[in-house]
Amino acid sequence: MQRVTITLDDELAAAIDRLVRVRGYQGRSEAIRDLVRDGLRQAAEASGAAGECVAALFYVYEHESRELAKRLARIFHDHHDLSVSALHVHLDHDTCLEVSVLRGPGQAVRTLGEHVIAERGVHYGRLVAAPVSIRSERHAHGGAPAHRHAHTHVHKAG
């Protein structure tokens, strides 16, 4: 482990100290390491360097907004190869929340997420992705004969 010295203005140091208290970190170093890891992960995702990923696309929208539900359904049908599953929740009479689980090339997943979030009538959206490796592996389950199928392995943070 290396020691790195940084200079922070008082406001930023106070914000980090609040984070330490709120999240229960043992000290500033632990909090700053997590913040740096998160920043590096975001930078990798933004640059497209993440390769394959699994992601959750969270978005809130007005279901009556000019054919929005149909447009969203069409977008996901057009990208069925990236869609794994979805959860639909009625928040009130006009607003729905959806969480779509996606898997595939990081750039394609990010493009799909950005497209959905940019649709007129989508009030809020966020894509959270984790880099993965997808490998075909052969093994048995509970006494059944061994067979080969894909496994998704999430890369560890940091």
By CB atoms closer than 10 A (0-12, 13-18, 19+), residue 5 is exposed
CATH of the domain at 98: 3.30.70.1150
pLDDT tens for 18-70 read 999 999 999 999 999 888 888 877 766 665 555 899 999 999 999 888 889 89
Q: Is residue 130 domain-shared with residue 58, that is, in the same domain?
A: yes
Question: Which structural domain range is residue 103 located in?
Answer: 52-138
Q: Is residue 28 domain-shared with residue 71, that is, in the same domain?
A: no
Choice between 111 and 154, residue whose per-residue pLDDT is larger:
111
Q: Is residue 30 domain-shared with residue 97, that is, in the same domain?
A: no
User: Hey, what's the torsion of the CAs at 43, 53, 108, 122, to 10 degrees?
Assistant: -80
What Rg value do the Cα atoms of the chain yield, rounded?
A: 20
The pLDDT of residue 45 is 61
157 occurs within a structural domain? no
Q: What is the pTM of this model?
A: 0.69
Total domains in the chain come to: 2
155 occurs within a structural domain? no
* 112, 82 Cβ separation under 8 angstroms: yes
pLDDT tens for 69-119 read 899 999 999 999 999 999 999 999 999 999 999 999 999 999 999 999 999
